[in-house]
Amino acid sequence: MNAAFSRTWEHAVVTGGAGFVGSHLCTALLDAGAAVTCVDDLSTGRPENMSGLRGRPGFAFVRASVCEPITVDRPPDLVLHFASPASPADYLRLPVHTMETGSLGTRNALALAHASGARFLLASTSEVYGDPQQHPQNERYWGNVNPVGPRSVYDEAKRFGEALTTAQADAHGTDTGIVRVFNTYGPRMRGYDGRAVPTFVRQALAGEPLTVTGDGRQTRSLCYVDDTVRGILAAAAHGLRGPVNIGNPTEITMLELARLVIELTGSTSEIRFVERPTDDPAVRCPDITLARDKLEWEPGVTAEEGLRRTIAWFRDQGDLIGS
C-alpha cells in the first residue's frame, strides 16, 4: 500500500509553493482534498507555476517572505517548508537570502507548525552530503561539505535547517520530519536555472551546443517530480522524523544525460565541454532503503519517460522556454 495519502489533511501551508517542486505539491494536496495556502515571496518562484491553482476551491496565495513571521487565515495541520533558492543560478545570486531562508525561514515555519499543532516537514537536500566519500549515500552519512565554498550558502542553510528542526522536536515536542530531496526534474523548471536537465533541454530545442561540465563523467540520480512529490507526501503522512532520502537510485553521467536529451529531442546539437564548477560533486546517488522500508515508496518513472514528458512541456512553452 502506498502511504502517500493515508493521512487526510484539512489545511496545508506550503512555503515556496510557487516554486518548481512546491507548486507540484500544492497541486497534489488540492487533488487529495486539502485546502492549501501557498506562501512565497516570488524571489525565485513564478506566478506562472500557480496558473492552474488560482481559482481552485481551497487555494490561497500569500505573497510574503518566510524570513518574517508567517501569518495565514486559519491554523494548518500540515506545514511543508520548501521555501529556498534551489538552483545554483539562484543561490549564487542570492547568497544571504538563501542563508536567511534556511535559518530565519525555518524558524518561522516551525513556529507556525508548533503554534497550530501541525505536522512539519523540512525540505532538505542531497547537497548536505557535499562531494560524498560514501557511495551511495545513506542517511547515516555525515557528508563532505566545504563550509566556505561557493555552494556553501545552500548546503549549510539546509544543514542548519536540519539541526534546527531536530532541536525544535527535541526541545518542544513539535511533530517534525526531514526529507533529503535528490535531483528532481520535470515540468515548471526554468530554462536558465542552471541545473542540468532544463539547461540541456533548452539548448537542444534551440539547436545550441549542450554544455557539459568537466569530462561529463560526474553522476547524478534524477527523479521525476511526480515520484518526488509522492515520496514527500508519504513522509508527511507516515510521521517519520527522518531524515529520509527521496530520490532515484539509478545513476546517469552528465555526458550520458546530454546524449539522451539530444536523442529524445531529435536535435542536431553537438556537445561542448566547459569548465566544471568548484566543489561540484563527482557522484550523487541515494540509498533509499529507509524510504522503501518505512514509506513503501520508490520511484516509478524511468529517465527516458520523465525526460519525454519534460521535453514535451518545454516545447509547449514556446517563447517562455527561457523565462
Q: Which of 154, 185, 192, 224 is catalytic?
A: 154
Which residues, 6 or more positions from 303, have their beta carbon under 8 angstroms from its beta carbon?
A: 222, 248, 250, 252, 257, 260
- Could you confirm whether 192 is annotated as catalytic? no
**Residue numbers annotated as active site:** 154
